[in-house]
Amino acid sequence: MIRMENVIKKYTMGEEEVYALAGVSMTVKEGEFVAIIGPSGSGKSTLMNIIGCLDAADSGIYSLNGTPIEHYSERELARLRSRQIGFIFQGFNLLPRLTALENVELPMVYQNIRTAEREKRAKEALERVGLGGRMNHKPGELSGGQQQRAAIARALATKPSLILADEPTGNLDSRTGREILSLFEEIHEAGNTIVLITHDAGVAARAQRQVKIQDGRIVGEEESHGNTILEDGMEIHCGK
């Protein structure tokens, strides 16, 4: 589903060029649940923006569902984002004046999906995340965990091929965060592809596979259910 080869992204700061991504190569297969983990300044946010087609690489190849995106126009990228990628953010990004149901419906308005179909999909998505009884509540009437559930429902309702989550538990207490991660596991088990961005090793461990990034480079990969870690091209076999 995702293929990156030697992706480079750099910024100019004064007279100095700073590499946010310094030759990233990685793949994500359809149906995988992958966590990209790294400290602040590691390049994970830049990587997320490129995966989500919110920014473009300076060089290298990025293909989504087999299609290289470097020649897409802004309009084509906007259409791709709305139809193929479901975004989940740390800050929920719900509109305060709309109900949970209306918030979930909103992306489908921009897809020109008919009213009856929008409402049907939104209700199904809210039921799926356990908010069937809170559809008509506005964000201010929902807890943090419920708001994140509504945000997840909004991502699911558009039936994207990829769900991209940026620090989805960052604004939640530990118990609520665990509940949200359990929900992600259920969504993955239902066949959805998920890429989760985090700095938290405990959160990353809940994914099927972890990709570690530091200083703009992939420095290791780890199968969460296995015992092989790749560090700078070397295999290290660890006991469970």
pLDDT tier, 14 (very low <50, low <70, confident <90, very high otherwise): confident
pLDDT at residue number 20: 95
Sign (positive or negative) of CA dihedral 29, 34, 37, 43? positive
pLDDT of residue 240 exceeding 70, the answer is no
pLDDT of residue 126 exceeding 50, the answer is yes
Compute the average pLDDT of residues 91-107.
95
Phi and psi (nearest 5°) for 40?
Answer: -60, 135
pLDDT of residue 87 exceeding 70, the answer is yes
| Beta carbons of 64 and 162 less than 8 angstroms apart | yes
Domains of the chain: 2-92+161-237 (3.40.50.300)
Q: What is the maximal distance between C-alpha atoms in the chain?
A: 56
pLDDT at residue number 225: 58
pLDDT tier, 71 (very low <50, low <70, confident <90, very high otherwise): confident
If you write DSSP's letter for every residue of 72-139 in order, what string do you get?
--HHHHHHHHHHHEEEE-TT----TTS-HHHHHHHHHHHTT--HHHHHHHHHHHHHHTT-GGGTT--G
* pTM across the whole model: 0.87
Q: pLDDT tens, 42-52? A: 999 999 999 99
